Chains A and B, each alone.
Chain A
Amino acid sequence: MALGEAPPNSCSDSMKSPSQRPTLSSFAVSSKGPYGGVAQLVERFGRIEEARGSIPLTSTSFRKILSRSRGGAARLSTVIFVLLISGCAQTASEGVFAGLEVDRPQIMPDPVLIDTQGQSFSMRADTKGTVRLVYFGFTSCPDICPVHLSQLSDVLARPGLPPNIKVLFVTVDPDNDTPEVMRSFLDQFSSEFIGLTGTKERLLDVQRQFSALIATSAVDENGEAGDIGHDGRVFAFAPDDLGRTQYPHPTRQTTWTRDLPILATLR
């Protein structure tokens, strides 16, 4: 199954184009159930009514059911059925992941940077077999970075989530984000988070390798460097080293808890 394609399931019929879909007004109820889920539901509803002795159903058109004197409840039930089915169709049209799925999965680059212990760290090789969540940010970021990291910290602390998930925080402000500064910043969220730094040129190259937007610092009226504009996405790589999804700001915890277990199984 290609990525982004709806998984085959029982609701696939309801995803047909409007012209292909049988219209409700001309929908004949038969015991053969030629239209899958809708027909079966309507038929079941019909049998209930038939058992009550109110409507002989097998040869009654859907329009007739609606026009009966007890039609209030019937109409309401029908509307609920249709809404349920349309909800099902919507589910079927969703992808595998709640995050943004990329058209062409990318193999995780393997640059070597410096971690918060001052040791060289190979981003792919040193995290082999885990889900890698790569994020480019800086420690004095006022909003997006702390929100992303605290969301991940909250999510990863939840029981039942797979343990093989690594968060790699790559700084885009190497002048200020020394290994010590990064460690104390990341420890506010989790001591497990990995902080990575390097030379300016190296970090620019790493951002390009990950196809991230290149971080640039804004200059204020006095000509001094202000906040840094940077990519707000978290790049996710499964244990098979393929990057299938990205998570922009804001990403809710429900999205993370839905996707991380799926990513962890892709080996």
Chain B
Amino acid sequence: MCLLIIPYFLFQRRAPKGYKAPKSQNRLFIAAVVLLWLATDWPLGLLGASYLASAHMLQFLLYTMAVAPLLLLGVPEWMARRIAGRLRLYRILGRCAKPVVAGVLFNGILILTHSPWAVDNFRASQFGSFGMDLLWLVAGLLVWIPLVSPIPEHRMTSYPGRMAYLFLSLGVIPAVPGGFLTFASFPLYATYELAPRVHGLGATTDQQLAGLVMKLGGIPIVWGTIVVLMYRWSEISRAEGAEARLLNKSTLPSEDPGQSITDPDQ
């Protein structure tokens, strides 16, 4: 956590002259770090790593649906540009920010990290478990870049496009593996099946719960964001309409003299 928070505030001293970081941005970043800590540390981290498939899924949801977008929203543009420049990530980020690439990468990581092979092998060691958490965070950042990247040119411009992207990449496709978990007749993950039970929760029930978390857990965030995007779109359309009407009004008087000449009634 310190590795994120301390450099963040130290880096802010090097902000361009005259730039004042909005407080809300700092708050979003701190909220992201707190959520990251909650998802990684005891009890959720331990339960997700060794005992419960549902806790594992809750962790995934927190990393990809909450921590990642909040981190992106919490980083100012100048900081993102400098980090991308120093790490020579600008081009790669630009390529990954394409909606199809981001969507495919995110869902590819989602399917890979929820396959029984990956879960049973990665979760077997602390290092593997950490790798899985890191992969989820990277996947979350990738999928949210086209929507809330701090670098404006990496963001999608069209509102309908954003909504469609959000719906497909975060709403529809993750429901497929979620369905597999919910309707599988046997526990798929040996790690959770053969772990001591927590509060008497059976392995199959736990897996069904994990499937439900995967399918339904993201819905409030996905649909909430879609509603916000739709509202903004309608506001912009309304503003554009008003502006067009104003322009029309301002151009009408200049046409009047011509009209008066050609007016047959006069």
Contacts and interface: CB of A to CB of B under 8 A. Distances in A.
Q: Are A and B genuine complex partners?
A: yes
Contact of A253 (B186, B195, B196): B186
A154 B194 CA distance: 12
B204 interface: yes
A172 to B, nearest CB: 19
B190 interface: yes
B194 A250 contact: yes
Nearest to B205: A154
Contacts of A216: none
B133 interface: no
| Most-contacted residue by chain A among B194, B200, B202 (CB, 10 A) | B194
A150 B197 contact: yes
Interface string A148-184: 0011011000000000000000000000000000000
B202 A150 contact: yes
A154 B203 contact: yes
Given A154-B203, A154-B204, A253-B203, A147 B190 contact: no
Q: What secondary structure prevails in chain B residues at the interface with A? A: loop
A143 B196 CA distance: 6
A107 to B, nearest CB: 31
Contact of B202 (A154, A249, A252, A254): A154
B187 interface: yes
A147 B193 CA distance: 9
A252 B190 contact: yes
A257 interface: yes
Contacts of B196: 142-143, 146-147
A211 interface: no
A265 interface: no
**Size bracket of the B interface:** 10 to 19
Interface string B108-144: 0000000000000000000000000000000000000
Nearest to B197: A150
A257 B193 CA distance: 14
Interface string A242-267: 00000001101110010000000000
A188 interface: yes
A146 B197 contact: yes
Interface in B194-215: 194-197, 200, 202-204
B207 to A, nearest CB: 11
A133 to B, nearest CB: 17
Contacts of B187: 252-253
Contacts of B186: 252-254, 257
Contacts of B203: 150-151, 154, 253
A150 B202 CA distance: 7
B190 to A, nearest CB: 6
A205 B175 CA distance: 55
A253 B196 CA distance: 14
A21 B11 CA distance: 68
A188 B202 contact: no
A227 B141 CA distance: 46
Contacts of A253: 186-187, 193, 203-204
Contacts of A153: 202
A252 B193 contact: yes
B183 to A, nearest CB: 15
A96 to B, nearest CB: 20
Contacts of A150: 197, 202-203
Nearest to A144: B196
Nearest to A141: B196
| Most-contacted residue by chain B among A146, A147, A150, A153 (CB, 10 A) | A150
A177 B49 CA distance: 32
Contacts of B202: 150, 153-154
A177 B200 CA distance: 21
A147 B204 contact: no
A252 B204 contact: no
A147 B200 contact: no
Contacts of B194: 147, 151, 249-250, 252
Contacts of A146: 196-197
A143 B194 CA distance: 9
Nearest to A188: B200
Interface in A175-215: 188
B200 to A, nearest CB: 6
B187 to A, nearest CB: 6
11 contacts: A142-B196, A147-B194, A150-B197, A151-B203, A153-B202, A154-B202, A249-B194, A250-B190, A252-B187, A253-B187, A253-B203
Interface of B: 186-187, 190, 193-197, 200, 202-204
Task: Give the 8 A-B CB pairs with smallest separation, nearest first.
Answer: A250-B194, A150-B197, A154-B202, A254-B186, A253-B186, A143-B196, A146-B196, A147-B194
Given A249-B194, A252-B193, 13 more contacts: A143-B196, A146-B196, A147-B195, A147-B196, A150-B197, A151-B194, A153-B202, A154-B203, A250-B194, A252-B194, A253-B186, A253-B187, A257-B186
